[in-house]
Structure 1
Amino acid sequence: MSKCGQCIIKSFNAFHTLTIDELDTISDHKTSLTIKKGENLMTEGHAINGLYCIKQGKCKLTKLNTNGKEQIIKFVKGGDILGHRSILSEEPVGLTVTALEEMKVCFIPKGDIMQTINQNTAFSLQLMKNISNQLNHANDSISQMAQKPVKDRLAETLLKLEEIFGLDKDGNIDIILTREEIANTIGTATESAIRLLSNFKKEKIISLQGKHIKLLDRSTLRNISEGY
């Protein structure tokens, strides 16, 4: 099992604030997990007793609306941590986390996290900053869903997906999503998402090869996302 102090992933999250001794303690107690595509890492309404550090892979964070339909709230990739808000508030998990591809994850028990919080102020502040950023993201998502037309939401989502995941070797957004998942991200019916993607393709704003999406005209997408 690799040591946390030697893991490059720590530089992308709150663990970069820890001392070598603190990282060694976490390394001794962590559990390495492999989560297969389609499996849940966390489930809405369930309690957890630790946090997860995403070492490799991509996942979606979802919530069921009042009609029982999945709403995708956020996408997460390697370097992110999950579960800290729940263990700090001592409340059940508010979102379901599902792997979009095979993931390598480290689980760190709550006791080690709470001990580190009590001992390391920088770590505590970094976790609070992370939670604050998540709340700001949630507020932005609510505002977007309430105020923007679905076409604008799709344009903004495509730009954000490229920003989060980057490009593959062929210049496509480096994440594979079904049309239903895209629809669940922008809050519309699958048929509507398919039609809008087709229109973007006809207008040469994007290209589509199966589930692969390539952005061809980012300037136009930005204008659409801003309501122009």
Structure 2
Amino acid sequence: MSLKGIFPIDRWDFNSQKILADLSDKDWDNLMAHARKEKYKKGQIVFREGAQPTSIFYIHTGTVKKYKIDNDGKEHIVYVASAGELIGYHAALADEVYPDAAAALEDSVVDVIPVADFLSTLDRSPAFSRKLLKTLSHEFAVYINNLSVFAQRPVRERVAIALIVLREKYKQGVKPGAPVMISISRDDIANMAGTTRENVARFLTEFKQEKIIDTIGRKILITNVRKLAEVSNYS
């Protein structure tokens, strides 16, 4: 089922896939001239917060979480990127260290692109520059939305929103209308929703009883996204 009309997913999705849309063959070849394809196992670090940016990353397959660690050592997931998205380019543009870290949520294949090739493509392609600027503006709005919602919403609603966002990330390759399977730990859901693992487990049990989700082992099957959107109380 499409989320159109029941949940504003664009307020939660960077849409960075659009950055490379319609890139000319010449610009694409320039961008990928020295890229290397890397396989990341579930949990493996893609880049570390505070490291100097030597590369940006194009997700070929899989999902990758962007996160920060607070002073108490608690992880906060700020975004989940999926196939077709670029990550790590903010630091390259600002000529600063990576402001957050990234790690694979599942086995993933990522194109590692040298920063120099990214910047040279940006310099030579006005269309690429315009799309990047538009995407950066949208990402700022997504971050503001994220902060405001998770500062004010009850935990049950935050967990529902996290599941809807994850459904969007895991639905690639799933037939339209078919249930979407999410393979992610309860800890990661808690770190997305800003709550505890125990709260996530409790609400997942409630959602299962309400026939919104089902579970197969540790995997979560979203069976009624419309009802989940109602629980999120977000319009």
Q: TM-score, normalised by structure 1?
A: 0.86
Does the 8 Å CA contact 1:172/1:213 hold for their aligned counterparts?
no
Who wins on radius of gyration, i.e. which is larger? 1
Q: 1:127 aligns with which of 109, 132, 155?
A: 132
* 2:223 is equivalent to residue 216 of structure 1: yes
164, 181, 199: which one aligns with 1:192: 199
Tell me: higher relative CO, structure 1 or 2? Use CA pairs within 8 A at least 6 residues apart. Answer: 2
- What one-letter code is carried by the residue in structure 1 that aligns with 2:52? A
Q: Distance in 1 between matches of 2:234 and 2:118?
A: 44
Partner of 1:34: 39
**Paired residue secondary structure (1:68):** coil
* Alignment equivalent of 1:158, drawn from 133, 147, 163: 163
Secondary structure in 2 matching 1:16: coil
The answer (yes or no) to whether the contact 2:55–2:112 under 8 Å persists in 1 is: yes
* CA 1:156–1:90: 2 relative to 1, 3 Å: same
Task: Report the TM-score when normalising by structure 2.
Answer: 0.84
1:20 corresponding residue in structure 2: 25
The alignment of Structure 1 onto Structure 2 pairs a total of residues equal to: 218
Secondary structure of residue in 1 paired with 2:205: helix
- Asked if the contact 1:71/1:185 (under 8 Å) is kept, the reply is yes
| 1:204 alignment partner, SS class | coil
- Tell me the residue number matched to 1:8: none
**AA at the equivalent of 2:33:** D
- The residue number in structure 2 matching 1:225 is 232
- Cα distance, 1:86 vs structure 2: 0.7
Taking the aligned partners of 2:234 and 2:121, their CA distance within structure 1 comes to 46
Distance 2:179 2:193 in 1: 20
**Separation in 1, partners of 2:210, 2:167:** 19
What code does the residue aligned with 2:92 have? I
**TM-superposed deviation, 1:49:** 1.7
**SS in structure 1 at match of 2:195:** coil
Relative to its length, the structure with more helix (as a share) is 1
Residue identity matched to 2:42: K
Q: Percent identity?
A: 30
Deviation at 1:172, TM superposition (A): 4.5
Aligned to 1:54, the other structure's residue is in SS state: strand
Tell me how far apart the structure 2 counterparts of residues 132 and 199 of structure 1 sit (CA, whole Å): 37
8 Å CA contact 2:65–2:105 kept in 1: the answer is yes
In 2: Cα distance, 1:227 partner to 1:54 partner:
29
Distance in 2 separating the partners of 1:184 and 1:27 = 33
Matched residue, 1:115:
120
Q: Which amino acid aligns with 1:73?
A: V
Deviation, structure 1 residue 85: 0.9
1:97, distance to aligned residue in structure 2 (A): 0.8
- Please tell me the root mean square deviation across aligned C-alpha atoms, in Å: 2.3
Partner of 2:153: 148
Instruction: Deviation per CA, 1:59-78: give whole Å up to 9, x if none.
Output: 11111123210111111111
Structure 1: stretches of 5+ with no match in the other structure: 1-10
Contact 2:30 2:121 (C-alpha < 8 Å) held by counterparts: no
Secondary structure at 2:181 match in 1: coil
The residue type paired with residue 145 of structure 2 is D
Mapped pair 1:100 → 2:105: yes
Change (3 A) 1:117 1:221: same
Q: How does 1:45-124 map to 2 (within 5 A)?
A: 45-124=50-129
Separation in 2, partners of 1:85, 1:12 = 15
